[in-house]
Copies of this chain bind each other. A is one copy, B any other.
Amino acid sequence: MASLTSVLGVLDPTSDRAVFRQIADALREAIDKGRFREGDKLPSETELVDHFGVSRMTVRNALSLLQQEGLAVSEHGKGVFVRPRPPVRRLASDRFARRHREQGKAAFTVEAEAAGSRPEVDNLEVKEERPSPDISARLGSPRKVLARRRRYLLDGRPVEFATSYLPLDLARNTPIAQPNPGPGGIYARLEEMGHRLDHFDEEIRARMPSPAEVRTLQLASGVPVIHLVRTAYDSEGRAVEVCDTVMAADAYVLAYQLPAN
């Protein structure tokens, strides 16, 4: 193995840049240049302490920076590693096209298997609730809603969890209120019930996860979430469903097509 000096260089004592930032810079540059690759173990804290001649807290400060940037992850007892970039799931803009719905299988499953991953859905929960003000407003202020929660995993890794809300008067005592709503999902059922779907509105935000979201999605530090709220409208202009989705940002790329006129 090459000496640490050749990989990381040395500190510049004349610089007014904080020492821990210089160390972070050195590591970041080494990663960028491919001297450490995805999944590689970075030098241990002790090695960095010895190499740079600083205290351990200073080294930890530097490593913490890299983790906040999403460049590294630490594993207790093992080391600090260059964060591997997992395969991303691409959500195409035609993903709710009727033709996909009509073939009957759950979109998530079909697509995951096509990509060679093992899909899984868990944490299923279906219950009646009083809607939050935001959800209520989007659905036209129903008194109660049916909430369907679930979490999606690829190869055992949680990537997204979502809650669908439907006005209760529309969903009660229908297959939609069942844990498994049947082939094509709730959109297929809605259409069968006479609510021909017209279009979807989607709102996208990105932010850092709450502690609960970190747990549910098993997020490494330095990984944001994409928060997507989709509203489905039927051909009469009624909002028939709101789907609130939180996705691990490192697992997704969203694709949309916009008309030019």
The bracket for how many chain A residues form the interface is 35 or more
Q: Is the C-beta of A113 less than 8 angstroms from some C-beta in chain B?
A: no
Q: Could you say which of A131-139, A163-171, A175-183, A196-204 contacts chain B?
A: A196-204
- Residues in B whose Cβ lies below 8 Å from that of A3: none
Verify A69–B208 contact, CB threshold 8 A. yes
In the complex, are the beta carbons of A254 and B224 less than 8 A apart? no
Q: Is the CB of B206 within 8 A of A226?
A: yes
Q: How far is the CA of A254 from the CA of B204 in the complex (A)?
A: 5
- From A57, A250, A254, residue with most partner B Cβ within 10 Å: A254
Q: Which residue of B lies closest to A32 (CB)?
A: B210
Whether A199 pairs with B258 at a CB distance below 8 angstroms is: yes
Is the pair B70, A258 in contact by a Cβ cutoff of 8 Å? no
Say yes or no for A259: interface residue by CB 8 A criterion. yes
Interface residues of A (CB under 8 A from B): 28, 57, 64, 68-70, 93-99, 197-211, 221-226, 232, 249-250, 252-261
